[in-house]
Structure formats: C-alpha cells, structure tokens
Amino acid sequence: EVQLVESGGGSVQPGGSLRLSCAASGFTFSDYWMHWVRQGPGKGLVWVARLTSDGTGTSYADSVKDRFTISRDNAKKTLYLQMNSLRVEDTAVYYCVRDARYSPDQWGQGTLVTVSS
C-alpha cells in the first residue's frame, strides 16, 4: 500500500522558518517525481513545488519562489520542503503528492502550517 506521511508542521511567526518532511513507503520512491500542494483554511488546492526523481530538477510557484526549497533523500525515501521567510498567507495544510505522469495520484494526509504573530 502506498503511504505518504507528512510531518514538521506547526505554528511559526512571520519571517520564521519550518522544514516539512514526507516519508514514503509502498512504492519505489526513487522512480517518481514528487510535489508539494497546499490548501489554505477553507480554500482550494494550490500547487507549490515539484522535484524530479533524481532530485536535480525543480519548479516553484511564483508565490514561494526564492523562499521555499524542495529536496529529497532517496536513500531515506523522504521528501522535504524548507520554508523560509514565512508569511501569514503561507498558512495552509501542506500535502506531499506523488506525480503519476503529469497528474497527482497519491496524497499524504497533510501537515498544518500556521503563520501568525
């Protein structure tokens, strides 16, 4: 069974940093591109970042570019999202998502990030 388990969320003040992790199991993690998608409170889904299977290629939404960094450790089967210079508008549930050839297929349960003073 495919499982994606996010962790690392929490409360932080504006300008602060957090690092999210996503532990993968049940599939060959190193074969898949991975993404982060977020959902603000009561809002829709928004794509955040993507990473190639070997960790060398990245893309970011304009809203997080130069503040967030997506990375992975294939030996540990773990995806990361380093979030710096956090803003109130970054408050959301962050989902780790597997890329199945141009579409998201498997989603984690999400981890809540709250940015507030």
Partner 1 sequence: QSALTQPRSVSGSPGQSVTISCTGTSSDVGSYNYVSWYQQHPGKAPKLILFDVNKRPSGVPDRFSGSKSGNTASLTISGLQAEDEADYYCCSYAGSYTWVFGGGTKLTVL
Query: For residues 114 and 105, what is the distance between their CA atoms, to the nearest angstrom?
Result: 26
Per-residue x/- mask for partner 1, residues 81 to 100, rule CB under 8 A? Answer: --------------x----x
Given a contact cutoff of 8 angstroms between Cβ atoms, the answer to whether 92 and 79 are in contact is: no
Residues 1-30 that bind partner 1 (CB under 8 A): none
**Candidate residues 24, 34, 35, 115; the one interacting with partner 1 per rule CB under 8 A:** 35
To partner 1, the closest distance from the beta carbon of 13 in angstroms equals 26
Query: For residues 59 and 27, what is the distance between their CA atoms, to the nearest angstrom?
Result: 23
Verify binding: residue 102, partner 1, rule CB under 8 A.
Answer: yes
Given a contact cutoff of 8 angstroms between Cβ atoms, the answer to whether 49 and 61 are in contact is: yes
